[in-house]
Structure formats: structure tokens, C-alpha cells
Structure 1
């Protein structure tokens, strides 16, 4: 995505000689066979197009058309409206009266030390942020984001315990009966040493049990309740509700979300989301939404060993036997309900004597819960199931996963399902198989190679950047913003949103160096002898284009020297130009070109006072033209370096806001 020209197709780097100097350009193809050469010094104007769905269907922009400018304006307006809405909502919440919970008690500290694992730094930070919010006199509304299995539940339980210790009731809302049931069991196990009364409201409870729980909530004898959207029914009344925890909010329907907002006004809210949110978006949103993110995996975790291969009965049978031999259990994913029993029979033949069961979406809640319970109790060796396990229960002893026809599934889904194994300190294995002799489509092949590549932790963040996170971003920003993100690509969208938020908060926007283009005669490129591979060169170009301060420049140079040795003059030229663009943007200059021995600085904000300063600093060299496109021309004498003279001129002009006392235009 080029900020000013729209979406094009990158076709490689080309080195061109213009006016006797050599530069590298990125070649971008546009609609109708048009081509744009972008100098590497302007790489910050380009970002990779990432958006929801497959990028194969993306329409390329027309060069020189007005379509792209219209699209950008539309997205800008939408982002500004959303920022405004969110800020108003935030202000309203700050004025609402909430309950300020007391500081942590001794029991709270005791409860936290009983956690059987070592917390990660992220977990501790998130828990501290949430508890601090609870101690404030207005209602909390915090979002806790993190990948599958990074320990969000423990953080939520600490908040629930704090709520109960503060003398209030807590409600935990889960999207499925199964998850509610698991949260309930986890809660009982974690709080058994304390006088906490917990209830469960779901179809796993008899009418009598439900009635007792409802009475307990109304009278205040039940401290914490876990349930599905059954908790939003009219007959559920709390005596003194203090905290609502919503697990995987994105899986509740619009109607339920509206009901939530109405039902729990003035109550602290904590929402857990399993779609990790990209760091860039997190930073933009954290200005107007309270967010905590957990990225590091629990200490004892090991990456999941992932194999992508043609289906081979011998290998599959071997994998199952290996898992059972170490006392573990296996998920075998066969995503067709009509033939799932036949598949279970075939698995039985492969591994004689193994206890096999099936699970799929057409079973009743009761049948399913029975199967999950048996799996948790270790009474099932191999569970042949559909993608139903994607949002299933946490079975720490299941550490081998076999998927048939994995080429027919989406990347986010494969990633989520793989997160079902490897949830303990044990090594886990995932086999993604596809039918023999099947020719994979291009998209499926890319998807499978991506999943194979991203086995390390935190890679959920990288892989998801393509798909999962962007959907996560969609659920965070709401459906309408989703289309805008698609129109301009994720990176540019976040940039626009960042500016919209800063403006809505009344912050002064810093001049953006990407608004200033420089094309002067300086050798500016990275020679192949310095960095051999193209990917490494582009990475270095991107780092250099992103420089904003002298410290940034020093960091980049140190890193280049450290990795590749002394920096050639043409690379130092790149760094200089990047810094000059920052001071040019601050001086209100939007374009700098060179005509033979003169540098041309175009600006809409030239005033008499600033020109006097420039003339005094460079006597006899400056001419001013106040035509329709005003500019300042600075003469370069022979033997002088254009870049040195440009720096002097910009220093003399200074930033726009400082010297505007003489405002008469020239």
C-alpha cells in the first residue's frame, strides 16, 4: 500500500542512475500496467497489504485516479467518528459511580501464592493493572487479550477472588456450556481452601440445582456464579454484583452484547479475548480503551512439533501408539459427521486395544459433556472429533493431534486447533495431513507452510497478523471498521486511527515525515557487497526510513556495523536523508528537489520572518518564488555537497510553529 497512490503489486528492487547518482527504487505495478518507482528513501510511504480474508482478490489501484484519495478520506472520517465515540464513552464511564474495592488483603496474597505454576511477567502485570482498576471509584471496563493458553484464566480468577473478598458477587460468562463447566471446575479447585460458595447456571444443572443457585444469588449466599448467556435471563437477580468476567466476548451475538451493556451498568467488567491483538493496534487503542495483553507463554511450555504431510496410515498409527505409550491421549480430527463412526472404526483397527470415542456438533450437550468428562478422567485414549474441539475444554494430557484434510481449513482455525495440545510441560505433536496425490491449491500450500513455520511461541502473534489478529482487530473495532481496514490495508488503517485518536484527545499532531518527499543528488543505496540478500536489504531500508531522531539514527548505524561491518558512504547518505526529511517536515516543507545547482524547497507556510533568517544564514544564495506553488531555491556552489547545504537551510528556517510572528505571506 502506497500512502499516496494506493494498493499495488511489488515486483522487485531496481537500481537506477538519475542525474549521475545511483539509487535503489522499489518497483510497484498498478492497474492498467502502470508502474511506480519508489525511492528507498521513501520506504515509510509503503506498507505491506494485510487485511481480513485472502489477499488474492485484492483490486489494484489506478495511478493518477481520484479513487484512492476518496477511499482515504472515507476511512479517515470513519476513524475520526469512531475515536470520538470511544472517547465520549470513556468520559461517560469515568463519571459513572462504581465501587472502589479495598486493597489486596492477606487472603488475596495467600490465594495468589497457592497458584501451582510460576506466573509470567505479563500475567503479573495484567493482574496488577486489573486490580488497580478495581480499586478506582468508577466502573472498570478492561480487555485482556492473549493467545490460546497463555494463562488468562488465572488472571481472571485473581480478579474474581478480589471481588469476593471485597464483599461483592462475581459473575463469569462463557460462550458454551462446556467452557462454563470447565471454568466452574477450575474455580472450585482454585478456591477450595477458602470459604467461597460457587454456583453454575447451565444445562448441566438440574432444575432444582439451578433454582437453589438463583435463590443464593438473590439472597447473597452464592459468591460467584459461572454460566452461559443463561446468566442474562430475566430471572437471574444478584444481591450485590461487583464484577462481570466475559470469556471470549467475540463469540456472543450482538443481541447478547447489548443485553450485557444494559444488565450490568456501573459494574466492573473484564473481557477476555483469545484473539491476540497486534501491538500496533494495542498502542493506538490503549489511549482510549483499557487493555492488558499477555504474550509470553507459561514457563514450562515447549513449542509444538508440527508436521505437514500426505496421509500415511503407518506414520499416523505410529504417532498414536507413541502418545499412548507415554500415558497420553490423542485428538484425531475428522471433520465429517456422516462418516465419523467409520473413521473411529478405522482408527480402532490401526491401534488395537485403544479406547476410542467420538464427539461432534450433532450430539446433545449432555452426550458431549459426558465424553469430555471421560476424556478428562483418562477413560478415553483417542477422541475422534470434528472442529468442535476448536473451542473445547482444556485437556492437559492430550498432546498429540492428527488432522485429516488440513488443506481445507483456514489458517486461524488450524492455529486455534493446534493450541488444544501442548498445554502442559510435555512435548506435543501435531500432524497436519492431506490426501495422497492431491494437488494443493496455492492458498492451501501457503497456509500449511505458514503453520509449519510458526511453531515457536509468540508466533501466534506473527501468523495471526495475517488472519487471526486482523479478525481480532475487527471484533475490537466493530464490524463497520472492518471494511475500512480492508480498503486501505491494516498498517495504513492503524496510522489513520492513531492520528484520529490523537486529534480527538486534543493532542497536537507531530509533522509526519512521510508527508515530505526528497529527491536530490546523493548516492543513496545499499550495495549487494554490503548486504547480499534482498530481504535483508529491504529490512535495512525499512529501518532507515523509519528513523525519527538522532538516537534512532545512531541505533540503526550501530546495528548495521555490528551485523555487516563498516557502513559505506551510500548507506550513510540514506541515513542522512531520513533525518533531513524529519526536519524538513517540521519546517513545513512538503517536497525537495534539485535542478542542476539549486535545491528547490516547496512549502505552503513560507513567511517573511523565516525567509529573513534563511537569507541571513546563507547570504546571496536564496531566491523566493511565490507562484501558485511557492518555493525557496538555495544555490549549491561547485564542490559543495547538496546535503550539507540543505541541512544549513533547514536549520535556518527552523520548525514552523516557532518563527511565525511575521505572518505576511511572500
Structure 2
């Protein structure tokens, strides 16, 4: 299978944020885009209320030139609105899903998707593709209510985590994992694999075979899913041998304790010298997966000087201990959701975001 993973020249990943409706946020984002001479998509997929939403956006951003577009408009009127937006006469296009595909406006690099929890993962990925089509940094804001369906939140987290260019294939795999791929061992189009997810099904199958062969019934640690915007790999000028590099990657993937990770870190320093930042980040990611899994963490997203930690629904973390650990490394912890617990961390000083996060979580295990 061939994958196209090289983006067009000068393209940057679209910064994707999951946010509640906030007039101040909308005003600031639209003002920032207009100040740099750009345009904005505002997607609201309800025709009966789209004019009211457009009026509200106009009150929030009074200097913006706003137009409405939806599929029930007369053909000529819709064509006129789209032509005005493409030509730059309209600053903010409030529209339904009709902008999902077939529209190339390089000057539009900010998008809002209202009630993003009502959209499918493929739809949101297509929508996000309408921005970021030039050299400018693009932003996509997924506006959601404070309380939403757990499946919807999982879909949105996938999009928030996978912002790198060429992430479509990984998003498609996660979509299949969440929705299920049918019964691999029979003719059914649904079944056990659909209930637990593709990736978990394969892990369960592998563990069951291992237990039957070895007789070892000890439960296996479920690692946390970690995504970061920091380069994490083994540079060629650090590990020149491809065989050695593959061996280290293989050993990292099979780590099951922080002690084994520290031993590997010492070995790498002894064999190849001090760790460059990408190699150190690779080991930090592995440590976060291990310590996060031990604490019942489902996912960790690191972006700039901020991080978001989401626990499994079955986890019972102690908020007092978490607050103390993050305070010790000069992180501000903000509860974004109580059940399952989701924390937003902001680095205030001290060590880097990765080092501080690893130290805090290591102290909690």
C-alpha cells in the first residue's frame, strides 16, 4: 500500500481546538483573521436557525462582512454568495455542510464548526480541510456543549489529537477502531470486534493466545494514548545504523515498566552519547504511555506549553494527589470535565512541558 504523506510546500498543520461556545473567543478569532486580511468559515448545519446564528455572529464581530449560504437557497443566489466569498467581498461565510468539499479558498484560514458533536469524524476531517490551504497558520474551532455524548467526544478527541499533515489515514484507522470492522473470524458484518474496537480486539486476541500458550493469566497494562507536537524520533546523526535504530524502536514498543525504560535510556547514552531533543522526546513519550496507563489515563495531548489528560471512565483518580504533583512541577491544573476526569495543564515555569509532565506522573505511580 502506498501512502501520500508529503504535504504541499509551505503548508502547516491546522491548529484544532475543542471549545465551548464563547463570544469572546469568536470575536478574538475573527478579529485576528481579519487583521491579517483573511476570511472565516462558520459552519452551522441547521437551516432553520442559520440566519439567527449569522445575526449573532454579526453582533459579536460588527466590522465583519457576513453572508449566509445553504442548500435550500435559489441556485443563482447561492452562486452569488459563493462568488462574493471566493473573491474576498465577504469576510465570514455562515453556511451548512455544503462547504465540505470542492471549495478552495486559500485566503480563508479560520473555521468554526458549531455543535461539532453532531458531525461524523469523516465530515469533520473534510471540513477542516477547507482551511490551511496556504502558507498561513490555520485554526479550526470545534464548538461543543459542556456535556456531550461520550462517543462524540471520542470522535472529536481523535481530530484534536491528529493535526499533523497527512493524518487522514491514521484518522481513518481510529474511525474504524471506534465503529468496528465486523467479525474477522466469520461472515458477520458486526459482532464482538465491533463492540470493543479493532485495535483492542487484536490486543485481546493476542493476549488470549499468549495466555493459552504460556499459562500466564496476569492482566496486561493498557498504555495511555500520547500525542505531542514535539519532534520525537531517533535522528540519523545520533543512531546511524538502521538495524540498531529499528531494534531500539522495537524495544521501546515492548517496554512494560519505567525501570526498563530507565535502563534503556542509560544504555543509549552509553552507546550513542547524550540524547538529542527528538530522542529524549521519544523516551518521554514512552514513559508517559507507561505511567499514564498505570494511573488509568486514556489519552494525553501535549501542545506547546499546555497538555490535556483524559482518564478512563472506570478510573478513580485522586484529585488532591494530582493537584499536588502538578503544582510541584509548576503546572496549573484546570478540570475540564469531572466524569470521566479531564484536566487541562498549563506550564507556568520550571522544566519543559514534557519533563515536568513525566516527573509529575512518575511521582503518582
User: Could you tell me which residue of structure 1 aligns to residue 11 of structure 2?
Assistant: 301
1:407–1:557 Cα change, 3 Å: closer
User: Could you tell me which residue of structure 1 aligns to residue 320 of structure 2?
Assistant: none
User: Could you tell me which residue of structure 1 aligns to residue 107 of structure 2?
Assistant: 397
Query: In structure 2, which of residues 86, 90, 94 is the aligned counterpart of residue 384 of structure 1?
Result: 94
- The answer to whether residue 154 in structure 2 is matched with residue 455 in structure 1 is no
Q: Deviation of residue 430 (structure 1)?
A: 0.9
Superposed CA RMSD in Å reads 4.0
Query: In structure 2, which of residues 237, 242, 251 is the aligned counterpart of residue 560 of structure 1?
Result: 251
- The answer to whether residue 151 in structure 2 is matched with residue 443 in structure 1 is yes
1:552–1:325 Cα change, 3 Å: closer
Matched position secondary structure for 2:100: helix
Q: Deviation of residue 382 (structure 1)?
A: 0.4
Alignment of 1:572-651 (within 5 A): none
Measured in 2, the distance between the counterparts of 1:325 and 1:439 equals 33
**What are the superposed Cα offsets for residues 113-147 of structure 1, whole Å, 9 maximum, x if unpaired?**
xxxxxxxxxxxxxxxxxxxxxxxxxxxxxxxxxxx
CA contact (8 A) 2:178 2:198 kept: no
CA contact (8 A) 1:302 1:426 kept: yes
**What are the superposed Cα offsets for residues 487-538 of structure 1, whole Å, 9 maximum, x if unpaired?**
556969xx9xxxxxxxxxxxxxxxxxx99997369x9999x9xxxx7528xx
- The answer to whether residue 76 in structure 2 is matched with residue 366 in structure 1 is yes
CA contact (8 A) 1:357 1:384 kept: yes
Measured in 1, the distance between the counterparts of 2:64 and 2:164 equals 31
Measured in 2, the distance between the counterparts of 1:468 and 1:519 equals 29
CA contact (8 A) 1:356 1:383 kept: yes
Alignment of 1:104-503 (within 5 A): 282=1, 293-435=3-145, 438-467=146-175, 484=188, 486-487=190-191
User: Could you tell me which residue of structure 1 aligns to residue 351 of structure 2?
Assistant: none
CA contact (8 A) 1:348 1:354 kept: yes
TM-score, normalized by length of structure 2? 0.52
User: Could you tell me which residue of structure 2 aligns to residue 535 of structure 1?
Assistant: 223
Q: Deviation of residue 554 (structure 1)?
A: 10
Matched position secondary structure for 1:396: coil
Alignment of 1:39-54 (within 5 A): none
Query: In structure 1, which of residues 497, 510, 519 is the aligned counterpart of residue 213 of structure 2?
Result: 519
**What are the superposed Cα offsets for residues 620-652 of structure 1, whole Å, 9 maximum, x if unpaired?**
xxxxxxxxxxxxxxxxxxxxxxxxxxxxxxxxx
Bigger relative CO (Cα 8 Å, ≥ 6 apart): 1
Measured in 2, the distance between the counterparts of 1:336 and 1:518 equals 54
**What are the superposed Cα offsets for residues 171-201 of structure 1, whole Å, 9 maximum, x if unpaired?**
xxxxxxxxxxxxxxxxxxxxxxxxxxxxxxx
**What are the superposed Cα offsets for residues 467-492 of structure 1, whole Å, 9 maximum, x if unpaired?**
27999x99xxxxxxxx8554556969
**What are the superposed Cα offsets for residues 557-613 of structure 1, whole Å, 9 maximum, x if unpaired?**
77428965369xxxxxxxxxxxxxxxxxxxxxxxxxxxxxxxxxxxxxxxxxxxxxx
Measured in 2, the distance between the counterparts of 1:520 and 1:439 equals 45
**What are the superposed Cα offsets for residues 61-99 of structure 1, whole Å, 9 maximum, x if unpaired?**
xxxxxxxxxxxxxxxxxxxxxxxxxxxxxxxxxxxxxxx
Instruction: Give the number of equivalent residue pairs.
Output: 226
Unaligned runs of 5+ in 1: 1-281, 283-291, 475-482, 496-513, 537-550, 568-666
1:555–1:350 Cα change, 3 Å: closer
Q: Deviation of residue 361 (structure 1)?
A: 1.0
Measured in 1, the distance between the counterparts of 2:45 and 2:39 equals 19
Give 4+ residue runs of structure 1 displaced > 6 Å after superposition: 468-471, 514-518, 523-526, 551-554
Measured in 1, the distance between the counterparts of 2:28 and 2:142 equals 15
Q: Deviation of residue 448 (structure 1)?
A: 2.1
1:557–1:393 Cα change, 3 Å: closer
CA contact (8 A) 1:344 1:384 kept: yes
